[in-house]
């Protein structure tokens, strides 16, 4: 069954993972800019990373017939240093015309600090100025509820932001409703221990329906599974979901959202 992986950090994955994803039916992979597991020491580190996402990673994916797209930003874990963030944000506009750049992301909050919030506002403004789609990371575990509320406030307060052009990722049972009620898209991240399991993600689909929701693995350098989306599709099948409903969530929905960028063509 064909699917789109709308959130995967492939720079942290092996070439074997690309092959396994292609074999499982993946048609395209989308890679938001994120924290590398350590803090970069200067804006130059981010410049090189943006080159990796826009020039080099698409070539690695293409070897397995996969289209590669990306999102650019400074992530919330490196946003406590506002001066660094300003310098990194200044680098982004020159990359926005690259053919695989879908928008600004994954911006958001991590510990819900004032500086993180300030940097989030700057990047929402950047997206508004350049008419870019937005992909939002919500905080982990105990910080998710508060962070999601603060993020929604920032987005609603910017009158240039259209809700249907924003996806709020890593939703769980206690945050999905507020995101959908705000008219935005919601992403469910399938992780073995934190975020959603396949069973819980399907529960959410059964409760809230199939509109403006997608599934992603967010596979990265930590404990994560690049095949989490097709495995969840299999679980949906076991639970009696029809092929059309499964295809909508793992292919048609991400395609519909991402096509708004004008660059997502598969």
- Say whether 35 sits in a helix, a strand or coil: coil
Options 12, 52, 115, 260; binder of other proteins; rule CB under 8 A: 115
Q: How far apart are CA 175 and CA 186, in angstroms?
A: 9
Interactions with other proteins, residue window 165-224 (CB under 8 A): 172-174, 199-200, 203
Positions 139 through 158 that interact with other proteins (CB under 8 A):
139-146, 149-150
Structure tokens given for 76:
């919330």
Q: Which stretch binds other proteins (CB under 8 A): 52-60, 107-115, 215-223, 224-232?
A: 107-115
Instruction: List beta partners, residue 69.
Output: 30
Instruction: Give the binding-site size for other proteins (rule: CB under 8 A).
Output: 30
Residue pair 260/165 in contact by the 8 Å Cβ criterion? yes
Burial of 146 from C-beta contacts in 10 A (0-12 / 13-18 / 19+): middle
- Run of H or E residues at 118: helix 114-129
Please tell me the distance from the alpha carbon of residue 217 to that of residue 187, in angstroms, as a whole number.
10
Nearest approach, Cβ of 169 to other proteins (angstroms)?
16
Q: Does 237 bind other proteins (CB under 8 A)?
A: no
* Residue 51 or 207 with smaller CB distance to other proteins: 207
Q: Which residues sit opposite 30 in a β-bridge? A: 69
Q: Does 9 bind other proteins (CB under 8 A)?
A: no
From candidates 93, 239, 243, 262, binder to other proteins by CB under 8 A: 239
Among residues 92, 95, 53, which one has the least CA distance to residue 73? 92
117 binds other proteins (CB under 8 A): yes
User: Which residue, 99 or 240, has its beta carbon nearer to other proteins?
Assistant: 240
Least distance in Å: CB of 261 to other proteins? 30
Token pair for 103: 């928008």
From the list 45, 56, 77, 41, the residue with the least C-alpha distance to 10 is 56
Q: Which of residues 47-86 bind other proteins (CB under 8 A)?
A: 77, 80
Stretch of 46-54, 115-123, 160-168, 257-265 contacting other proteins, by CB under 8 A: 115-123
Contact residues for other proteins, defined by CB under 8 A: 35, 77, 80, 110-117, 139-146, 149-150, 172-174, 199-200, 203, 238-240
């Amino acid at each position: 069954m064909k699917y789109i992986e709308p959130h995967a950090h492939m720079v942290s994955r092996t070439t074997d993972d690309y092959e396994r994803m292609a074999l499982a039916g993946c048609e395209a992979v989308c890679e938001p800019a994120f924290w590398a597991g350590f803090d970069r020491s200067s804006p130059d580190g981010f410049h090189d990373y943006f080159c990796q996402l826009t020039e080099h990673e698409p070539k690695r994916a293409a070897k397995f017939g996969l289209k590669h797209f990306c999102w650019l930003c400074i992530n919330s874990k490196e946003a406590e240093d506002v001066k660094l963030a300003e310098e990194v944000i200044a680098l982004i506009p020159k990359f926005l015309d690259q053919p695989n750049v879908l928008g600004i992301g994954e911006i958001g909050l991590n510990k819900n600090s004032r500086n993180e919030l300030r940097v989030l506002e700057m990047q929402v403004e950047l997206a508004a100025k350049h008419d870019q789609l937005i992909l939002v990371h919500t905080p982990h575990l105990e910080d998710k509820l508060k962070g999601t509320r603060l993020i929604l406030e920032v987005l609603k307060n910017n009158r240039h932001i259209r809700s249907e052009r924003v996806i709020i990722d890593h939703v769980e049972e206690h945050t999905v409703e507020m995101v959908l009620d705000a008219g935005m898209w919601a992403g469910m991240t399938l992780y073995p221990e934190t975020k959603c399991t396949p069973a819980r993600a399907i529960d959410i689909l059964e409760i809230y329906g199939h509109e403006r929701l997608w599934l992603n693995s967010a596979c990265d350098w930590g404990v994560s599974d690049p095949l989490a989306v097709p495995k969840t599709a299999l679980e949906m099948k076991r639970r009696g979901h029809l092929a059309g409903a499964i295809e909508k969530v793992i292919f048609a929905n991400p395609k519909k959202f991402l096509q708004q960028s004008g660059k997502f063509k598969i």
